[in-house]
Amino acid sequence: MNISIFGLGYVGCVGAACLAKLGHHVIGNDISENKVRLINEGKPTIIEADIDELVKEGRESGRLEASMDIQYVVDKSDISFICVGTPSGKQGHLNLDYIYNVARQIGKAIRHKESFHIVAIRSTVLPGTNKRVGEIIAEASGKQRGRDFTVVSNPEFLREGTSVEDYINPPLTLIGTDSEDAEKTFRELYKDIHGEFIATDIEVAEIMKYVNNTYHALKIVFANEVGNICKSLGIDSHKVMEIFCKDRQLNISPYYFKPGFAYGGSCLPKDCKALRTLAHDHYVKTPVINAIDPSNELQKKIAMDIIESKGRKSIGILGLSFKAGTDDLRNSPIVDVAEVLYGKGYDVRIYDRNVRVSQLTGTNADFIQAKLPRLYQIITDDLDEICQACDVLVVTNKEKEFADLPEKYPHKCIVDLVRQFKALDYEGNYEGISWANINNNAAQDQPIERNMLTTEY
């Protein structure tokens, strides 16, 4: 394929060299005359393992060149990659001037071009940038997105020092696009790249690099705080983390990475508190570990705010235990929410077929006696009774019996804390705690008839 790359810095140079290695014809462009000259001399613009040989090989084969003539670069390519910098401002906002300037130049260059042109944003940008780039190109070219050109988001996941290896052998290749033709083109473009090819929503692709890097930073800080605690106790922290990383079923896995409601149960709250206390007793500062509990409490407040925003008095809570398939109520986060709602005068009713009030003993009984002493009056194992009587249904556990709620009980307000539904065409009001836009029914937008004012939590 014929490819142009705008920006011959770290990302652009690696991309140009690797795409040439894969057999594509690549033309680079940069505002720096020196970078253009280096590429045309068969020399890289960066210092990186294996890049020297790849640039030299690409230039000698005739598959890699560079030019400062933007019209020439665009005319000779079908795909243009934007790889320019997005520096951060003092307040943390990105400076997207370089992105937008390149988009405007590409737009002007395709004004008289008859063939369909694909623009791929490789730079790290925030959600909404792809849409704006498309608008700029349309304004500058007089052409229509989707008919004459399109813009895809193709974030890079390269580590300095191993970027060439990461490019050829990535964990995955990600494309955000609304164009089937662009998706097909990129599948062909990257057919020799190892790793799963994933095509997704544009906004999902745009935010992924930020989520990845923030999590990488979190991992480093978490490991450092664990190390500091271990050092204060004379424990080898590297042995601790080496064993920690061997657990691929829970520790290093997708298991806990599903946005939703707060955690609870007998283990996580107790053990997090114990580790914080241990650090405190040894005068070790652990700001990240200390922030876990407040963040968990915040998720409870978010759930409360969503429920109260519906403005309805009767609330049906579907599931009281801290997770599906158990009767364990200890530190169940929804118990705290139910307690507050009940105290504010809401008509709270609870369904949980696993919880038998008459059989509650020990810690379970003590916990409920302290939180919801009148539980026996408001809990039932009759799901239909709750759903018929209540205006707001709060799904707290991912049970199979909740899967047909929208069909069986239309026009209710459903608050989903566990992503019970992947997509919906539901005439009632639906809201997920940490996700949106899954209900595509127009009735979703109709005003809710409120019978109870919201109050401060």
| Catalytic residue numbers, as ranges | 267
146 torsion bin: left (phi>0), alpha (psi -120 to 50), beta (else): left
Q: How many CB atoms lie within 10 A of CB 242?
A: 10
Do residues 274 and 446 make contact, with C-beta atoms less than 8 angstroms apart? no
Q: What is the DSSP letter of 439?
A: B
Q: How far apart, in whole angstroms, are the C-alpha atoms of residue 400 and residue 382?
A: 15
> DSSP string of 49-103?
TTHHHHHHHHHHHTSEEE-S-HHHHHHT-SEEEE-----B-TTS-B--HHHHHHH
Query: Contact at 8 Å (CB) between 339 and 371?
Result: yes
Residue 442, SS3 per DSSP: helix
Q: Residue 214: which residues within 8 A CB-CB, separation 6 or more?
A: none
| Residue 33: both structure tokens together | 């005359």
CA–CA separation, 182 and 151 (whole Å): 9
Q: How far apart are CA 279 and CA 428, in angstroms?
A: 48
Enumerate the H helices of 282-409 as residue ranges. 287-290, 292-309, 333-343, 362-371, 375-378, 383-389, 405-408
Burial 368-396 (b: 16+ CB within 10 A, else e): beebbeebeebbbeebeebbeebbbbbbb
